[in-house]
Amino acid sequence: MTIRVLLADDQALLRATFRILIDSDPGMTVVAEAADGREAIDLTRAHAPDVVLMDLRMPDTDGLTATAGICSLPDLAATRVLVLTTFENDQNVARALRAGASGFLGKDVGPDVLLTGIRTVAAGESLLSPAATRTLITRFLATPDAEAPLAPPERLTTLTEREREVMSLVAYGMSNTEIAGHLVVSPLTVRSHVQRAMTKLHARDRAQLVVIAYQSGLVRPRP
C-alpha cells in the first residue's frame, strides 16, 4: 500500500525538495502541499493522508495549532503527524506530542532517515526511540507546566500490572521486539498490551502513551 503524505512548510523550496525525495520512493506519494497551518488542516481534511510532515514555525496559523487541530478530528484518527523542526530544544516539540504528533525529526536529517521516519509513523509507531530524541523529550515532558495531563493519574489504576510494565518500557524508548525480549514474551503479546493500555488511557498512539507515562509519574527521565 502506498503511503500518502502531505507536506506542511512555509518554505516552497524545502517542500519541493521533500516532494522529490518522497515521490522517488515507490511506496510513497505526496498528495498535497500546505504553506501554513490553516491550509494544512484544510488539505488534511480534504485528502486524509497517512502522514503529515508538519513544520512547527509557519506564519499565521502555526504548526502546533495545526497539529492540535488535525489530531482532534475523529475523522482523521488514522492520520499521523510527524513534526519537522530546526529547533531541537524547542518546547513546542513537546507540546506537539501532547497534541497528538507521533514524533519529530530535525530538518537536517538525511534522506534515508526521513523516509524511514515516514514509514515508522505510518505504521502506527512513534519516533521516540533514538537516545538523543528520548533524552530531549523526556526532559520537557517531565517539566511541570500549566497544561492539563492527557490522562488523569487515577486512570492508570485501570491498567493491569503487566500493562503498566509494558507502558514503562515503551516510555523508555523500547520497541515491541525489544520489550518482548526483555519480558520473554512474543512481540504480538507486547502489541496487545500496548493497544489495551492505549485504549484504556484514550491515547491516540504510542507517542501519547509516552507523554502520559511521564506526566503521570509512572516513569522518570533516566540520567
Amino acid at site 141 = L
Angle, CA 178 vertex, CA 174 and CA 184 arms, to 5°: 130
Contacts of 119 (CB under 8 A, 6+ apart): 3, 27
pLDDT of the residue at 7: 97
Radius of gyration of the chain (CA): 17
Task: Assess contact for 96 and 141: CB atoms under 8 A.
Answer: no
**Phi and psi dihedrals of 84, rounded to 5?**
-115, 130
Taking the C-alpha atoms of residue 207 and residue 205, their distance in angstroms, rounded to an integer, is 5
Give the single-character DSSP code of 128.
Answer: -
Longest dimension (CA), the chain: 50
Task: Assess contact for 103 and 85: CB atoms under 8 A.
Answer: no
**Phi and psi dihedrals of 31, rounded to 5?**
-100, -20
pLDDT of the residue at 106: 80
Residue in 61, 100, 101 with CA at minimum distance from that of residue 84: 101
pLDDT of the residue at 222: 62
CB burial of residue 188 (10 Å; 0-12, 13-18, 19+):
exposed
Taking the C-alpha atoms of residue 1 and residue 17, their distance in angstroms, rounded to an integer, is 23
The angle that helices 63-71 and 37-47 make with each other, rounded to 10 degrees, is: 30
- The secondary structure element, H or E, covering residue 81 is strand 80-85
Residue by residue, pLDDT tens for the chain (223 residues) are 899 999 999 999 999 999 999 999 999 999 999 999 999 999 999 999 999 999 988 888 999 999 999 999 999 989 999 998 775 555 677 778 778 888 888 888 889 989 998 998 898 776 664 444 555 555 556 555 545 666 676 788 899 999 999 999 988 878 888 899 999 999 999 999 999 998 999 888 787 888 888 778 888 766 5
